[in-house]
Chain A
Amino acid sequence: MQTEILGIVATFALTLIIAIPLGSYLAKVFAGQRVWTNIFAPLEKFIYKIAGINPNEQMDWKQHLKAMLTINALWLAYGFFVLLYQDKLPLNPDGNPGMSPHLAFNTIISFVVNCNLQHYSGESGVSYLVQQFIVMFLQFVSAATGMAIAFAFFKAFKEKTAVKLGNFWQHFTLSITRVLLPLSVIIAIILAFNGVPASYDGKDQITSLQGDSISVSRGPAAAMVAIKHLGTNGGGWFGANSAHPLENPNYLTNMVEAISQMIIPIAMIIAFGIFIGRRKLSWTIFGVMTIGFLLLLLPTLQSELGGNAKIAEMGIAQPTGAMEGKEVRFGPTATAYWSTITTVVSTGSVNGMHDSTMPLTGLYQLLAMMINAFYGGCGVGLLNYFVYLIIAVFIAGLMVGRTPEFLGHKLEAREVKIAALVTLISPFLIMCGTALASYTFTQHGQAQWDTAPSAWLNNPSFHGFSEMLYEVTSSNANNGSGFEGLGDNNTFWNVMTGVILLFGRFIPIIGPLAIAGLLAKKKYIPESAGTLKIDTKTFALMTLAIILVLNALSYFPALALGPIAEYFTMIK
């Protein structure tokens, strides 16, 4: 028991020990300063040459968005067809079939937008070609997309006024060659030496000790499991994701995977402060995020370690906590820890099944994804947080009766409107999506579709509602974890979540970058006694309060119908 607690304390400590220096490294790389990885400069030059890119060409915020949207659209189109026809393409040793159009639609969007919601099962749903050339490729480039936009955002606040925010292609390339690829190599090798398969062999047929004939899925998973965490993607090689013993063989790999999914989101916050020369602001943001993270983690631990009250009623002791859907080698503590980090940083990989976690754990998982800014996704976490900051500055400005300013730029109607729109789009998508699904389930249960709506849910009552709410929330947050009991591989869910994924990704990227671009162009107002300082403890508390109030107001009714109602059923 104590070793289990010690395990997660060590995991979080190591995360910070790695993430903080990584942050100053990132700031140096993107400021073009000397770092040891400059040895990769010839490789980058070669990439720019082949791609016909001039890395010195400066882009404004609109050009950044155009470049980003163009390359993302290309991946969507190309990936869709590969998924559709994977059975006719090479590298398919297990003979898996091509995808249905609606599944291909959902899957390709899901990976392009860094969500990694998977409505197929890795062992039987995709070929090795798709795993490597589509899934793993997109895990790299979608993470790099988020980081590239985040660095354009950084540049908006580096100088007093800025129109040009660097070069998207260069940011994108550096994200891969200087960060994602080198770290992935290290992580993948650690994983491979701990038992994660890395060869191209297909399924193996063997006879078990007891004499049963079994087949064992394998494949080059180690390379993908590394970037799946580092890039906060979360899409697993195997159906059971990181609960699968070949994807996460022991406690050491569990620590490595847990650490690797958090280091870039945290490093980006540190890098922001160093890059724009306002370290105190970075630490303030980091402080708010860490408080938020702990406010979700501690009650999650309490809820999981307490075990299932209904099983306790049967006379079974649960000294270490609830075990349904969990693995013995991690134990309930490390699984509860993972469930919090994977929902706050938008990874969405799991090392235990969220559908079987305790009701209140489900509540905290949902809240983490609804807020989506406690560290947040690779690059985009900070953008999400920035929107909350703008709202907080605006409200604080109204309260003290001054024109709101953000880092020396006057915040006006246009920027606040964009921030409000981005803030409102999440509850709109989550509520409408869940309402539509619930309505269809209750009113048209027997509809003659590919899956009758009445057969969607794996659990009755409040928990069934939570399954739908979770799926929609996870899509909007680009998280990708699920209450996997939900029967989601059908036209309704594939199309609906596919559309939500697109909005949930691109609006929270376009909005903040537009605000940053608009602000950066404005005249710089030097700080005076009347300036509202945003790196103080008071303002940090204000931001935290705004985040909590906004989300509580938006989601409380839905949460009350799902996990909260289930909790009261359980303890009754």
Chain B
Amino acid sequence: MKPSPSIGIASLQLKTNIKQMKKYILPSIRLTLVFTVILCVLYPLFISLAAKLSKGEGSGEKVYLKGKTVGYKLIGQSFTKPEYFWGRPSAVAYNAAGSAGSNKGPTNPDYLKEVSHRIDTLLKYHPGLQKNKIPVELVTASGSGLDPNISVAGAQIQAKRIAAYRQIPLSKVLKLIETNTEKPLLGLFGPSKINVLTLNIALEKISK
């Protein structure tokens, strides 16, 4: 802004500035209004209506056991009892109303202690398990704290424990893991995985 030689010119400039502002402010307000209707009302309502045709009708797909809702298919749950397959550690204890990761840095000493503690717990519950057979996702927290999946190996190392606690043959448990393995997209892209909740529901079904 150039310094004005006199107050008269300054006020004149101010007036033209205000006049110019007016030239822009009315279209601004009106454009905001009309786009609010299009983008914030019509667009999401249309998506919401279209989603009614999807599996969970747009409210999230639920899973049931004996007619009772036991969870959402995509939302991981906390499994602490030894007769269930365990999922990954969660920084928020699987709080589906407050997702978050641990945000621990890779060299943080407290964090590394925690990982080492998780390894010990796994070894305790799985006698005979070799350290280098522990899949890393079972000792590290997920990004969302709600990861519904573990790797196939992550389920396999737990099979013996499940078989013992449920008193069912090991082969049956391994077979269950195999049938519940989700292959990569089109068999080509991304990792194979297991949905822990779905697997545990299947487990409940064969245990009876």
Contact = CB atoms under 8 A, between A and B. Distances in A.
A485 B30 contact: no
B107 A463 contact: yes
Nearest to B103: A485
Interface string B12-26: 000000001100111
Contacts of B112: 310-311, 314
Bin the interface of chain A by size: 35 or more
A243 B142 contact: yes
Contact of B40 (A71, A133, A249, A317): A133
Interface in A468-521: 483-485
A206 B147 CA distance: 18
B97 A198 contact: no
B36 A71 contact: no
Interface string B112-152: 10011001000000000001111011011111111111110
Contacts of A74: 25, 28-29, 32
B168 interface: no
A566 B97 contact: no
B39 interface: yes
Contact of B31 (A51, A121, A249, A485): A51
Contacts of A334: 190
Contacts of B84: 209-210
Nearest to B25: A70
B52 to A, nearest CB: 8
Contact of B136 (A52, A318, A569): A318
Contact of A51 (B30, B81, B100, B137): B30
Contact of A308 (B40, B78, B106, B154): B106
Given A209-B77, A325-B141, A331-B190, A459 B104 contact: yes
Interface residues of B, number: 106
Nearest to B34: A50
B35 A169 contact: no
A188 B147 contact: no
A101 interface: no
B74 to A, nearest CB: 4
Interface string A344-380: 0000001111011111000000000000000000000
A328 B141 CA distance: 11
B75 A246 contact: yes
A198 B132 CA distance: 43
Interface stretch (B3-11, B56-64, B159-167): B56-64
B99 interface: yes
Which of B40, B76, B188, B204 is the most central at the interface, judged by chain A CB atoms within 10 Å of its CB?
Answer: B40
A255 B189 contact: yes
A195 interface: yes
Contact of B47 (A192, A195, A325, A352): A192
A535 B192 CA distance: 45
Given A199-B59, A566-B107, A356 B190 contact: no
A214 to B, nearest CB: 6
B189 A7 contact: yes
A327 B43 contact: no
A328 B149 contact: yes
B190 A329 contact: yes
B101 A356 contact: yes
B38 interface: yes
A458 B106 CA distance: 12
B72 to A, nearest CB: 6
Nearest to A141: B35
Interface in B42-86: 43-44, 46-48, 50-62, 65, 69-81, 84
A124 B97 CA distance: 8
Contact of B142 (A220, A314, A320, A328): A328
Contacts of A542: none
Contact of A316 (B35, B136, B150): B136
B24 A216 contact: no
A334 B134 CA distance: 22
Contacts of B80: 210
A223 B102 contact: no
Contacts of A197: 51, 56, 58-60
Contacts of B32: 71, 74-75, 78, 141
A413 interface: no
B119 to A, nearest CB: 6
Contact of A325 (B35, B131, B143): B143
Given A199-B48, A324-B140, 8 more contacts: A67-B24, A132-B44, A133-B36, A189-B51, A209-B200, A215-B96, A311-B112, A322-B136
A-B residue pairs, 4 tightest by C-beta: A485-B103, A243-B143, A463-B105, A198-B51
Interface of A: 3-4, 6-7, 10, 47, 50-53, 66-67, 70-71, 74-75, 78, 121, 123-124, 132-133, 136-137, 140-141, 169, 172-173, 176, 181, 184-185, 188-189, 192-193, 195, 197-201, 203-204, 206-210, 212, 214-218, 220, 222-224, 238-240, 243-246, 249-252, 254-255, 307-308, 310-311, 314-318, 320, 322-331, 334-335, 350-353, 355-359, 458-463, 466, 483-485, 566, 569-570
25 contacts: A10-B189, A66-B20, A67-B28, A70-B21, A71-B32, A181-B39, A189-B50, A195-B54, A198-B51, A208-B77, A217-B99, A220-B48, A238-B144, A240-B143, A240-B145, A244-B144, A244-B146, A246-B75, A324-B104, A325-B102, A328-B147, A355-B103, A458-B104, A485-B104, A566-B107
Interface of B: 20-21, 24-36, 38-40, 43-44, 46-48, 50-62, 65, 69-81, 84, 88, 94-109, 111-112, 115-116, 119, 131-134, 136-137, 139-151, 154, 184-185, 187-193, 197, 200-201, 204
